[in-house]
Structure 1
Amino acid sequence: MPRVYVSSVIEAPIAKVWDKIRDFNALPRWHPRIRDSRIENGEPSDKVGCVRDFNLQNGDRIREKLLGMSDYDMFCTYAILESPMPLTDYVATLRLTPVTDGNVTFAEWTAEFECADEVADELVDGISTNVFQAGFSALQRNLAV
């Protein structure tokens, strides 16, 4: 089972970072690769079980289900339901931790999934760079104090 792990220090207080990412429908407002997003069936975007349906800038469509969220522990966990990527059983968690020295945020984004062995390295590299690190870099640019 391939695993992706990316971490970063975002030069902003944790409350500001969490405010940006806790809305499960807010990807287009902070991630540069996301064109648009909607929550299906008009459900609240922080309701565990809600499904976001979004399009990437290149037109690809992805559907993801919110599996867990905690304002106290500042994390969200979600699963991919539909994607053009050749993978299954994808579950990811985005977690924030306060760094008290400097009032900045330690961010971790992890994912595990199943796929054919011959595409595993390419998927891990692509998700690490184009999704997770690209998101952290965009948050850094948008939230820097």
Structure 2
Amino acid sequence: DRIWQTVRDFNALPDWVPAVRESRIEGGQPSDQVGCVRAFRLEDGGFLRERLLALSDYDYSVTYSILESPMGVENYIATLKFVPVTDGSRTFAEWTAEFDCDPAAEAELVANIGNTVFQAAFDALKVRFGA
């Protein structure tokens, strides 16, 4: 529940994703309102905009799409889901993404998103909440 309370806040990326410097929700909407758009800047200066497509406190899942990104992806939709593990005080996390891109850039994008974004965020959550 502690992890979910952090992650479910669509504006809290700087709290748990190391590469994110700052984030804001456009138009003053609540950060848990489906349809809200977060605009954020990365530590390297990159700028992204993402729309919250689904948020479930029952399934501990969040789904979002990228509206604007320097990564060279289109039709990007990702889901981050947490499943409590009943054997001990642990949580299983799964982060999946589908997108279109230039076929020549696909392998590099998959590695970059998987390692630089997803795994780095998981590692930061482990440090913050204990592993």
TM over 0.5: yes
Structure possessing the higher relative contact order (Cα contacts under 8 Å, 6 or more residues apart): 1
Paired amino acid for 1:89: N
TM-score, structure 1 normalization? 0.89
Any idea what the Cα deviations from partners look like across 1:14-58, whole Å, max 9, x if unmatched?
x01101100000000111100000000000000000000000000
| Structure 1 spans left out of the alignment, 5+ residues | 1-14
Does residue 129 of structure 1 match 2:115? yes
TM-score, structure 2 normalization? 0.98
User: Of 70, 73, 80, which residue of structure 1 is paired with 2:59?
Assistant: 73
Aligned residues: CA RMSD: 0.7
What SS does structure 2 have at the residue aligned with 1:85? coil
Paired amino acid for 1:55: R
Paired amino acid for 1:100: T
Partner of 1:3: none
Partner of 1:114: 100
| Runs (4+) off by over 4 Å | none
| Structure 2 spans left out of the alignment, 5+ residues | none
Sequence identity, in percent?
A: 56
Paired amino acid for 1:82: E
Give the alignment of 1:79-98 within 5 angstroms: 79-98=65-84
